Amino acid sequence: MMNTAGNILNGFFDFLLLLFRPFPPFWGLLFISLLSGLGMIMVFRLVSNQEKISRLRRRMGGELLGILLHLSSPVTVMKFAGELIWSNTLYLIYLLKPMLVMAIPFMLVWGQLDARYGSTEMDDDYPVTVSVFFEDGLPDRESLEIGVTGLELIPPVVFIDTLDEVSFRILPYVDSLRSLEIDGTSIQVGRTGRWNGCRILRGFNSDGSLISTFFRPWIVRVERSEDSLLSGWYSLPDVRYRVLGGHWSWIAVFLVFSSLSAIAGAKAFKVKI
C-alpha cells in the first residue's frame, strides 16, 4: 500500500516535469521551486487567520512607533517593549498552524528534488562505491553472489565484519538502465528514466517504511526473498548549478527561488505574513 502511494507521488512529479524533459536539469528545478513558493503562500493564505495577522501587525507597528516617540521616558519605553514582545509571541502562535500544515508537503517536495536534482548520474570514468548492510549479520563469503546488468563489477569485494557491511565498486559501461543482484535480490541502480528530471537512485532498502517511501524517494524499495533486511547506498557526487556566476547546490536554488516566488505571490494576492 505504501509502495503504491509512493509510486503515485513519484508519478505526479514526473507529470509536472513532463515539459522540461528535453531541457537541462536546472530548468525543471527552477520550475518546481517557483511553483512550490507560490503553492506555499496560497496554503498559508487559506489556513491562516489573515484578519488577526493584519490587525496584530498594525498593533506591532504602533508599539514600535511608541518606543521611538518616547525614548526620553524609560518607563514608557519598557511598557511598549513588553507589549511588543507579547505581540511577537502571539504572531508566532498565529504562524504555527499554517507552518505545521505546510510542513508535510514541504518535506515531500524536498525529498523529490533531492532525488532528482541532488546527485549526478554515474560517469563511465569514475567508479561508484556500493555499500551493502545486512541487519542479521553477513552471509558467508563463499555463498554471497553479486550480479550486474549494464555495469562492471570491480574487485575486490570487501567484507567488514564489525559493521555487517559488504563494499565493492561498480562502473557503468552501457547507456541503459542498470541493476545489481545480490543473493537473488534485484536492485535498480542510477537513473529511473532516460530524461532530465527523473529520479537518480542513491540507495536501496528492503524495509518499506513510511519515511523511505515518501520522504526519501532516492531510496528504492527492494523485495527481499529471505527474512533478513538488506540496505545500502551508492557514493554519487553532488550536483552544482551555474547561477549568477556561482556554483549553487539544489538546496540553494530551491530556497532562493521559492522564497522569491512566495514574496511575489504574497504581494500579488495580498497575503499577510
Residues 6+ apart with CB under 8 A from 52: 94
**pLDDT of res. 98:** 92
**pLDDT of res. 96:** 93
Q: What is the pLDDT tens value at each position of the chain, 273 positions in all?
A: 556 778 889 999 999 999 999 999 999 999 999 999 999 999 999 999 999 999 999 999 999 999 998 888 888 999 999 999 999 999 999 999 999 999 999 999 999 999 999 998 888 778 899 999 887 788 888 888 888 888 889 989 999 988 889 999 998 886 667 888 887 788 888 888 888 999 999 888 876 666 667 888 988 887 765 555 678 888 888 899 999 899 999 999 999 999 999 999 999 999 988
**What H or E segment, with its residue span, contains residue 200?**
strand 200-201
**pLDDT of res. 249:** 95
**pLDDT of res. 211:** 66
Question: What pTM value is reported for the model?
Answer: 0.85
**pLDDT of res. 188:** 86
SS3 255: helix
Residue the block writes with cell 542479521: 136
129: which strand partners?
169
**What H or E segment, with its residue span, contains residue 30?**
helix 25-47
Residues 6+ apart with CB under 8 A from 40: 102, 105, 106, 258, 262
**pLDDT of res. 179:** 86
Distances (CA, A) of 73 to 35, 77, 78, 84, 259: 49, 6, 9, 16, 40
